[in-house]
Chains A and B, each alone.
Chain A
Amino acid sequence: DIQMTQSPSSLSASVGDRVTITCRATQNIRSYMNWYQQKPGKAPKLLISGASSLQTGVPSRFSGSGSGTDFTLTISSLQPEDFATYYCQHTYSTTWTFGQGTKVEVK
């Protein structure tokens, strides 16, 4: 199975900061990468599909990049509502996996 490794597992940041989360796959997954945001007690929310396609209604401060094995989720200017846990997830091959998550906390 393809494994996804996210880094960091957690980070502390302030409102207005630029935040970058990375995800590495154990093999080439082309652009079959999605990113989700999850807040406590809630279902995850899809932010980005196909590595870089922003979902309708998601603020433009979120962006995704990468292909192959290395991917990045960037929040250009962190807002109070962005403190949450973020997950990467691939849709390459027939069995799928999530990364272990990155918790973005208040500094």
Chain B
Amino acid sequence: GQQLNQSPQSMFIQEGEDVSMNCTSSSIFNTWLWYKQDPGEGPVLLIALYKAGELTSNGRLTAQFGITRKDSFLNISASIPSDVGIYFCAGLQGGSEKLVFGKGTKLTVNP
């Protein structure tokens, strides 16, 4: 089915550390999007990926579209306190406008 398995569910790290999280699915997705959500706010788009194997950066964030089109990874380098929040992966399948979301990775950064 159209499920995205996102891991880890939560991470507790020290400021300055690098972070890695991923999303996997049994289904193929044509587009992967990564969002960050702060408490009580809407998801904010971080990175969009459109091609299998694509590696895209946005500042300290780097995301990759898996070769199989069934997974994606997000890395954050040199974390800072404002990186705290919930990170969601989301995917689009061919012929559909419906974004399928993962359950999120809650990131806590200790100064």
Do A and B interact with each other, yes or no? Answer: no
